[in-house]
Amino acid sequence: MTASSKRRYFGTDGIRGKVGEHPINPEFVLKLGWAAGRVLAQRQGAPGKVVIGKDTRISGYMFESALQAGLSAAGVDIRLLGPMPTPAIACLTRTLHAQAGIVISASHNPYYDNGIKFFSSVGTKLPDALEQAIEAELEQPMTTVDSSQLGKAQRVRDAAGRYIEFCKGTIPSVMDFRGMKIVVDCAHGATYHVAPYVFDELGAQVIPINIKPDGLNINQGSGSTHPQATQVAVLEHGADLGIAFDGDGDRVILVDSKGEVVDGDEILFIIAQSRLNANALNGAVVGTLMSNLGLEQALQAQGVELKRAAVGDRYVMEMLQAGGHVLGGESSGHIICLDRTTTGDGIIAALQVLAEIHKSGRALHELKQGMIKYPQHMVNVRAAGGARLAELPAVRQACREVEEMLRGSGRVLLRPSGTEPVVRVMVEGMDARQVQELADQLAQVVARAAAG
């Protein structure tokens, strides 16, 4: 049994759920803050301090207060960052020399969801052992330290400015983006008071959209999960490109001057090409099982291997660290540049692409041409026991037949969902119509196997 399978509350990206339903309710989050504070104090031999940041969803206020109370009861000092992108909390945990950082966010989910995730003192996700220790402490009765030892809370007034300067420092100091017109879509999320200023201070003409969070509109018809708003704005304003973040700023999707979406695979290719030209790639690029075959082939043409991790940025990070690589990501736009920072960061990923545009003198639309995306089609089949289904003779035979029809120019993938009783059936190939037909046929075979 793996460490992750033993955890009761922590998933691959912290603890998430619907607000008001266990464990995403004030009572649990209060005790979570206390348990985390106790474990951190025990590991360090002293209470120390923890930073807390959040995105813009309305429940963030409630959970910020609950975490603050729990940490204080454990004797831990708190630094409150307010609404800040998730990667900013990783950064400020390091620069403020905190023992841990806590993020209150459900990333690209709607406002009625929320979650809690932790960063270590060096800005990486907590090790499994520490998450398990926190879960074990949750089972203990909650106590409060003596009043003289209660943790104190302070608000960090210059958090946004600190992070803006950090982001700008990830590209050469002599570089600026004067003459570029950029649409920046903040999804009414945590980047609303950060991202526009980063690009503005670097000289670009910035057209910010979806920068008026009201607690309920985060990710609503905007940002990286709904890039149509960015596409429209780019064409309306005649912009050079658009940058669309998700609600907590760890994902980014770009739009070129023609209004075409540039997804995470294409962003990964552009940054890889830039690093390769600078002799700074350091081996393979890490993607996932869902990374487009076109990315793999484009990298192979440059003599670069694409390693495929399980779906999820946690697994991309693990493979990066195990191989000593610096660049990885997902097609969703979660890009990790370990030569610049410690976690996936939408602003920093966008800056690396802009730096390559500046350096090469080539437009975004031109830079992405080196990678030809293969059409993908995915069908979700409601079924439990996905791993077992994939091994059934009828399903295996159907997969082989589809692969033969693709004639070596495509892929078949059956992947059980980690969050719901669904098997994801994906087919990828050169002909979009054929890909869709084959995926539908294979999904029918999987559905019959599940029913039988």
> What confidence score (pLDDT) does residue 4 get?
43
Residues 6+ apart with CB under 8 A from 220: 110, 111, 188
CB count, 10 Å around CB of 137?
19
Place of tokens 């669309």: 244
User: What are 158-171's pLDDT values in tens digits?
Assistant: 999 999 999 999 99
User: What are 276-326's pLDDT values in tens digits?
Assistant: 999 999 899 999 999 999 999 999 999 999 999 998 898 999 999 999 999
Task: Note whether 177 and 359 are within 8 A (CB).
Answer: no
For 401-431, letters b (16+ CB in 10 Å) and e give: ebbeebeeebbbbbbbeeeeebbbbbbbbee
pLDDT band at 2 (very low <50, low <70, confident <90, very high): very low
CA angle 194, 196, 199 (to 5 degrees): 105
* Average pLDDT of span 245-254: 98
Structure token digits, residue 215: 């607690």
Structure token digits, residue 393: 């003779």
* Residues annotated catalytic, as ranges: 107
> What confidence score (pLDDT) does residue 255 get?
98
> What confidence score (pLDDT) does residue 70 get?
98
Structure token digits, residue 24: 């995403």
> What confidence score (pLDDT) does residue 6 get?
64
Report the number of secondary-structure helices (H) and strands (E) in the chain.
16, 18
Structure token digits, residue 329: 């990501």
d(CA 252, CA 331): 10
> What confidence score (pLDDT) does residue 388 get?
86
> Given a cut of 70, is residue 75 above it in pLDDT?
yes
Q: Which amino acid is at 441?
A: Q
> What confidence score (pLDDT) does residue 439 get?
97
> What confidence score (pLDDT) does residue 418 get?
67
User: What are 213-224's pLDDT values in tens digits?
Assistant: 999 999 999 999
Q: What percent of the chain has pLDDT over 90?
A: 88
Q: What domains sit in the chain, N to C, each tagged with a CATH number?
A: 3-158 (3.40.120.10), 178-261 (3.40.120.10), 263-349+356-373 (3.40.120.10), 376-451 (3.30.310.50)
* Average pLDDT of span 368-383: 94
Mean pLDDT of the chain: 95
User: What are 260-281's pLDDT values in tens digits?
Assistant: 999 999 999 999 999 999 999 9
